[in-house]
Amino acid sequence: MHTCGLETDRDSMEANEKTKSLETVRTDQDRWIADLEQRLVQCERLAAVGELTSTTTHEFNNILMTILNYAKLGLRHKDDSTREKALTRILDAANRGAKITSLVLGLSRTGSGNFDPIDLVAIVEDSLVLLEKELQKYRIHVEKELSGVPVIQGSAGSLQRLLLNLITNARQAIKENGTIRIIVKHEPKTDSVVLTVRDNGSGIPKEVLPKIFDRFFTTKSGPDASGKGGTGLGLSACKQIIDDHRGRIRVESTVGKGTAFSIRFPVASASQATPAA
């Protein structure tokens, strides 16, 4: 009996050991998965920067051409008014270049970063600066309805990536000649800021809709002529960013008519909205 008891104790000790080692394996696996997820987020961020590099290189070429042509014009003409016009154009082009550089640098900063009070309207305007030439190339008209909104608590770099992904998807769904409508408004009832990106592109079939936020789900055969699309990581990254910001996303789509992504962010509380002195 005694022996039996001892054996039972040993059994339960062995079982405990097993459970412990199983728990250790599970913790190791959890850590490993968390580490991989972290790396994937990092890769998504770098891929977004890589895609932007091709867009911005073209844009910089346009800026340099403008600067070169107006510098030549200013040197050829000695009169004040032509020189003033040339210098103003050069200054505008250089300012645009500086703006693009700072946006790309902001996007490539690692870590989802600190959360700060963010004006979503400014993020929309910045995203459109980055995508302006690309949207023109595909003859896409952008309509904006951006009212003054309260600040939200967020990461400027992540929110910028969210917008770039949504606008790029909208542009790809349209293919060519269409309209993207971007709305930012305050919804007093829920005290939230609502961002809507609506396109009149292909729409999403009912059977595809439940999968669009899955990692690696894509209906695109590969990168398009602008080097974008086809990895199926865009919307899963968007979902992560929205979750990090305690936001909610809603999709409405009709095949042949278009799609609208609406995201609701909670307004920053009074103490969050005041940046530390």
Ligand X SMILES: Nc1ncnc2c1ncn2[C@@H]1O[C@H](COP(=O)(O)OP(=O)(O)OP(=O)(O)O)[C@@H](O)[C@H]1O
Give the contact letters, 45-64, x = binds to ligand X (CB under 6 A), - = no.
--------------------
Longest dimension (CA), the chain: 113
Q: How far is CA 191 from the centre of its chain?
A: 23
97 binds Mg ion, rule: CB under 5 A? no
Give the contact letters, 154-193, x = binds to ligand X (CB under 6 A), - = no.
-----------x---xx--x--------------------
Stretch that binds ligand X, among 121-129, 149-157, 182-190, 230-238 (CB under 6 A): 230-238
Q: What are phi and psi of 140, to 5 degrees?
A: -105, 125
In the complex with Mg ion, the residue whose CB is nearer, 49 or 73, is 49
Cα gap 33→82, rounded to integer Å: 62
Decide: 121 and 148 in contact? Cβ < 8 Å: yes
In the complex with Mg ion, the residue whose CB is nearer, 169 or 202, is 169
Q: What are phi and psi of 111, to 5 degrees?
A: 80, 145
Bridge partners, residue 118, by sequence: 152
Cα gap 99→252, rounded to integer Å: 34
Of 97, 157, 178, 229, the one binding ligand X by CB under 6 A: 229
In the complex with Mg ion, the residue whose CB is nearer, 121 or 197, is 197
**Residues that contact Mg ion, how many (by CB under 5 A):** 2
199 binds ligand X, rule: CB under 6 A? yes
Which uninterrupted H or E stretch holds 181? strand 178-187
Q: What are phi and psi of 212, to 5 degrees?
A: -65, -25
219 binds ligand X, rule: CB under 6 A? yes
Burial 60-98 (b: 16+ CB within 10 A, else e): eeebeebbeebeeebeeeeeeeebeebeebbeebeebbe
Stretch that binds ligand X, among 3-11, 101-109, 140-148, 222-230 (CB under 6 A): 222-230
Cα gap 104→157, rounded to integer Å: 9
Q: Which residues from 245-274 bind ligand X, rule CB under 6 A?
A: 259
**Residues that contact ligand X, how many (by CB under 6 A):** 24
Q: Which residues from 203-242 bind Mg ion, rule CB under 5 A?
A: 234
In the complex with ligand X, the residue whose CB is nearer, 126 or 199, is 199
CB-nearest residue to Mg ion: 234
Question: Which strands make up the sheet holding 258-266, listed edge to edge?
Answer: 140-146, 178-187, 192-199, 258-266, 248-254
CB-nearest residue to ligand X: 234
CB of 73 to ligand X, least distance (A): 41
Say which amino acid occupies 43: C
169 binds Mg ion, rule: CB under 5 A? yes
In the complex with Mg ion, the residue whose CB is nearer, 194 or 238, is 238
Contact footprint for ligand X (CB under 6 A) = 165, 169-170, 173, 199, 201-202, 204, 208, 212, 217-220, 228-236, 259
